[in-house]
Amino acid sequence: MSTATHSATLSQLDARTRLHTRIWSPSAHAHWLPRAAVAAVFFYHGMGKLADLAGFAGMMELPIFIAALVAIAEVGGGLALILGGALRRDWLTRLGGLAIAPVMLGAILMVHWGQWSFVATESHPMGGMEFQVVLLALAFWYGIAGNDKRA
């Protein structure tokens, strides 16, 4: 076997090994755990807001236009996170994270500020900001890192 043929054979084996690792390695798919969780939370809550947009706007004392933007950002952001991962499009993942981040910042400042614990209290019937801070951090992370698994 010539050196060139041997080198090509090793290259083909290396490519097959990389493909096998990418498909079957659990660590290759671990990024779906936080991505799916964050996307599901925002898609679910955004759809609830869209279903009763006037009620959401009234409860939060927001103009209907802003309430619609919040709901669309949640639904669209959740979808963008999933599609960005499935289609391997960094820009979609980043768009999803950056759509969700201002929504979470608004939720923290308008509803949850002043109490850390997620447990509802008399002064904070919707609970504190502990969970929302985690969602905000994940949104920023997706907005900055995109699909980069090294981040």
53-60 and 32-51 helices cross at what angle (nearest 10)? 90
pLDDT at 7: 56
Domain ranges within the chain, ordered by starting residue: 1-29, 31-145
For residue 111, count other CB atoms closer than 10 A to its CB: 17
Give the separation between CA 28 and CA 15, rounded to whole angstroms.
Answer: 16
Q: How far is CA 17 from CA 5, 13, 23, 149, in A?
A: 18, 6, 10, 19
The segments of the chain whose pLDDT lies below 50 read none
pTM of the model: 0.80
pLDDT at 103: 98
Give the separation between CA 29 and CA 43, rounded to whole angstroms.
Answer: 21
pLDDT at 25: 74
Give the separation between CA 134 and CA 113, rounded to whole angstroms.
Answer: 14
Residue 33 gets the label, from left (phi > 0), alpha (psi -120 to 50) or beta, of: alpha
Give the separation between CA 32 and CA 25, rounded to whole angstroms.
Answer: 13
pLDDT at 112: 84
Give the separation between CA 83 and CA 109, rounded to whole angstroms.
Answer: 29
pLDDT at 116: 78
| Cβ proximity of 91 and 146 under 8 Å | yes
pLDDT at 76: 99
Give the separation between CA 148 and CA 90, rounded to whole angstroms.
Answer: 8
